[in-house]
Structure 1
Amino acid sequence: MPESLRKPTLDKDLDKLTTMEMAAESVSQRVVAPGLAILFVVICAIVSGALVTGHQGAVVIVAAAVVGAYMALNIGANDVANNVGPAVGARAMKLGTALVIAAIFESAGALIAGGDVIGTISKGIISPEAVNTPEVFISAMLAALVSSALWIHLATWLKAPVSTTHSIVGGVMGSGIAAAGISAVQWTTMGSIALSWVISPLLGGVIAAAFLAFIKTAIIYREDKISAAVRWVPVLIAVMTGAFSAYLAIKGLKSLVEITLTLALVIGLGTGVLAWIISRPLIRRQARGLENRNQSLRKLFALPLVFSAALLSFAHGANDVANAVGPLAAIVHTAELGEVASKVSIPLWVMAVGAFGISLGLVLFGPRLIKLVGNEITKLNPMRAYCVALSAALTVIAASALGLPVSSTHIAVGAVFGVGFFREWYTARSQRRADYVAMRSETNGNGSTPKTTSKRASADDQRRRFLVRRAHFLTIVAAWLITVPAAAILSGVLFAVFRAVFS
């Protein structure tokens, strides 16, 4: 063998060491995230134990805090991906930036505006009068928490964006039925919640499609795209700012001063107008020198897309913190009083468990599903992603204001589907697009003109192609359908186990 083909022993050893280092780094990355998650759960146990020392039912409260922290981590890993996934998929911001923004606004939404929905979860599904024994009620809530957390963990591992709201509501319902029969469930409340589950994804899809239709009509297909964007992008920013301000006025300031709905709307209108005034020169300055084409519009939509992702994270934190700490709040209240109360107070530390647990779960385990929502359902650009985020944010805000624990997963993914299906419909029926495709097909790579049949075939292919991946659509809908019964059955079984062990 020639000398040049022989590998010195030292080089072989160095290659082995490099391979070992890469393997060790890969293993350490897989261990760090679970290790930090376990550390968070342990900290929650220690803090809750210190706060309830000497109280009645301290052991039960600490156990519930551990399960609530585990539940919050799973919500962050699974559900929060819907908030920033479209922005990441559209390449409007990097994954690290998206994680930071989502973590900050998730925590803010949970701590500022998460109280109303917690009341619905903790005492609106199971009637306290039907489960009037503290031990039974605590076992039911604990079973609901454990079953929901386990189901969401499994779904996250399978890379399925299931609804955490469905999981916890199904868990509460299943343990309630196991504890006191069907009569324990407040079916009127359940009916309104179930109806909101059906309406919310449809509403999210319709609103997202409507915004995309407006953007196409008012900006994309205008002769001067940049001038149209300079005119309308500040208006879209004003809509987001106004909605966010009105909601924050109603929810976040009610503990300081009483604000009526009319006053909140006036505040929203005022801040919206202010946002329009401020954003107009910024967008105009950003538009200078841009070419009159769609690629340039993406730059102008970067700022409103980031803002809408932050708004959706805030709204999600306000709505979905209930999934983590609603049953926990009920357990803490019942254990401390020794009786099932009709009104549940929410300690600050309970809210903090949900808020920080969701944020940490997002940072540690969220990127997998962020990529699914952002890249694998349909192709998103900044304009489409903005429509998804704004639609989902407005729908979640409205639901949280009404005290309805709707599924943000349903709303956000429904908005993604709405954008994709609208594009399919628009592609099949838009004469403007058909003319554009035909024009692009008039010359091939060599500058020659293809046959008329080829042009027609190209346009027909554009009309027929699917822009939403049907496999993901069917898989996600199937996961939505199975979540409630699966969580309910598991919760009922766990309740029976808890009662057998601790009674």
Structure 2
Amino acid sequence: MTTRALSPRTAILIAACANFGGALLFSGVAETITKDIVNPFSLENGSAVILGALISAIFWNLITWYFGIPSSSSHALVGSISGAAIAAGGVHILNYKGFFGIVQGLIISPIIAIIIGFLIMKVFQRTLKNLPLYKTNKRMRSLQMVTAGLQSFSHGTNDAQKTMGIMTMALITSGYQSSTAVPFWIKILVAAAMALGTSVGGWKIIKTVGGKITKLTPASGAAADISSALIIFGFTALKLPVSTTHVISSSIMGVGSAQQFKSVKWGTAKRIVLTWVITLPLTALLGALVFKVLSIMM
């Protein structure tokens, strides 16, 4: 939308449909969330842990949404589950190998996104340098219709999986399921919710990502789309969750730096990075606190 390749209505419709398809076709990340942070089969007072984690993550996401900060729901969810689980069963309850593998992916993916975004934009600049600006914009807007859909599809393959994972955990801890496989009805429900949420639109976040990091052109927008889609698809193939928000934001920083380093609004970037750093520990504390309250009430 920022690059005017698509109208807002068309962009949201494409994004909603692509998110639905991506969410429906993959489940590897969901299984990682279900079993690699904590063993749901050995979790005591599991219902309170899951509910506490969800309340904590939702509360954090609402705060960052209100201030228009592209926060990571992935960091929030992982932190909240970890904090609530530790409050329920002590520090030994975590699957530390799986947990640190997830955290490592969350940390590395934005760094890779900056590098890939930078390199792709440099390739675009070399390829398009002899074309008149109006021809470049026309071709890149056509390309971005494809790349934006690809990015949205990749978003569904990873972001939706986290919700599927925690819903599957809820079924296991409540005694309704005896395996970590994601039921098909959960896939449909989460895919539909993903599409609906996309169609409603998070306009504050869209404005920050689309215009407050760097000024996007059709070429840089397409480069950022390709970069973030490649990173998200790669980590989805590894069955690792990433913060799609931070991957996309980092890709935009990378393409902006490739055009002109000072064109990136590094003040906004610092706010994003700061939120990225503090989300995991703060949501862990919040998840533990909410669990303690719920365990008294339930």
- Same topology, TM > 0.5: yes
Corresponding residue for residue 475 of structure 1:
271
The structure number with the bigger radius of gyration is 1
Corresponding residue for residue 28 of structure 2:
116
Corresponding residue for residue 163 of structure 2:
324
Q: How many pairs does the alignment contain?
A: 298
Corresponding residue for residue 103 of structure 1:
16
Offset at 1:130?
4.8
Q: How does 1:176-191 map to 2 (within 5 A)?
A: 176-191=85-100
Offset at 1:99?
0.6
Offset at 1:305?
0.8
Asked if structure 2 preserves the Cα contact closer than 8 Å seen for 1:204 and 1:415, the reply is yes
Corresponding residue for residue 48 of structure 1:
none
Corresponding residue for residue 362 of structure 1:
198
Offset at 1:325?
2.8
Give SS of 1:215's match. Answer: helix
Corresponding residue for residue 371 of structure 1:
207
Asked if structure 1 preserves the Cα contact closer than 8 Å seen for 2:87 and 2:288, the reply is yes
Offset at 1:129?
5.9
Give SS of 1:344's match. Answer: coil
Offset at 1:175?
0.8
Instruction: Spell out, residue by residue over 1:419-474, the C-alpha distance to the aligned partner (whole angstroms, 9 max, x if none).
Output: 1122225xxxxxxxxxxxxxxxxxxxxxxxxxxxxxxxxxxxxxxxx201122011
1:384 maps to 2:220? yes
Q: How does 1:8-407 map to 2 (within 5 A)?
A: 88-113=1-26, 115-128=27-40, 130-131=42-43, 133=44, 136-220=45-129, 222=130, 225=131, 293-337=132-176, 341=178, 343-407=179-243
Asked if structure 2 preserves the Cα contact closer than 8 Å seen for 1:396 and 1:406, the reply is yes
Change (3 A) 1:352 1:153: farther
Offset at 1:217?
1.3
Asked if structure 1 preserves the Cα contact closer than 8 Å seen for 2:79 and 2:283, the reply is yes
Asked if structure 1 preserves the Cα contact closer than 8 Å seen for 2:49 and 2:88, the reply is yes
Give SS of 2:214's match. Answer: coil
Offset at 1:380?
0.8
Offset at 1:198?
2.1
Instruction: Spell out, residue by residue over 1:393-440, the C-alpha distance to the aligned partner (whole angstroms, 9 max, x if none).
Output: 010001001000111111110001111122225xxxxxxxxxxxxxxx
State the distance in 1 between where 2:173 and 2:266 align: 46
Give SS of 2:158's match. Answer: helix
Asked if structure 2 preserves the Cα contact closer than 8 Å seen for 1:205 and 1:418, the reply is yes
Give 5+ residue unaligned stretches, structure 1. Answer: 1-87, 226-292, 426-465
Flag as ranges the 4+ runs of structure 1 deviating above 4 A. Answer: none
Give SS of 1:316's match. Answer: helix
Instruction: Spell out, residue by residue over 1:344-374, the C-alpha distance to the aligned partner (whole angstroms, 9 max, x if none).
Output: 2322222223222222222224222212211
Asked if structure 1 preserves the Cα contact closer than 8 Å seen for 2:34 and 2:40, the reply is no
- Residue identity (%): 29
Give SS of 1:89's match. Answer: coil
Instruction: Spell out, residue by residue over 1:296-355, the C-alpha distance to the aligned partner (whole angstroms, 9 max, x if none).
Output: 2110112221111111111111101122231111112332448xx4x3232222222322
Amino acid at match of 1:215: F
Asked if structure 1 preserves the Cα contact closer than 8 Å seen for 2:41 and 2:172, the reply is no
Give SS of 1:208's match. Answer: helix
Asked if structure 2 preserves the Cα contact closer than 8 Å seen for 1:388 and 1:416, the reply is yes
Asked if structure 2 preserves the Cα contact closer than 8 Å seen for 1:142 and 1:327, the reply is no
Amino acid at match of 2:172: H
Offset at 1:107?
0.7
Amino acid at match of 2:147: S
Give 5+ residue unaligned stretches, structure 2. Answer: none
State the distance in 2 between where 1:197 and 1:335 align: 29
Offset at 1:390?
0.3
Q: What CA RMSD, in Å, does the superposition of the two structures yield over aligned residues?
A: 1.6
Offset at 1:495?
1.0
Asked if structure 2 preserves the Cα contact closer than 8 Å seen for 1:120 and 1:403, the reply is yes
Amino acid at match of 1:494: V
State the distance in 2 between where 1:175 and 1:334 align: 14
Amino acid at match of 1:386: A
State the distance in 1 between where 2:164 and 2:67 align: 24
State the distance in 1 between where 2:250 and 2:188 align: 29
State the distance in 2 between where 1:300 and 1:422 align: 20
State the distance in 1 between where 2:217 and 2:268 align: 19
State the distance in 1 between where 2:68 and 2:117 align: 24
Give SS of 1:301's match. Answer: helix
State the distance in 1 between where 2:134 and 2:203 align: 26
The higher-RCO structure (CA 8 Å, 6+ apart) is 2
State the distance in 1 between where 2:208 and 2:157 align: 24
Asked if structure 2 preserves the Cα contact closer than 8 Å seen for 1:130 and 1:183, the reply is no
State the distance in 1 between where 2:293 and 2:194 align: 28
Corresponding residue for residue 290 of structure 1:
none
Offset at 1:501?
1.2
Offset at 1:193?
1.6
Give SS of 2:263's match. Answer: coil
Offset at 1:117?
0.6
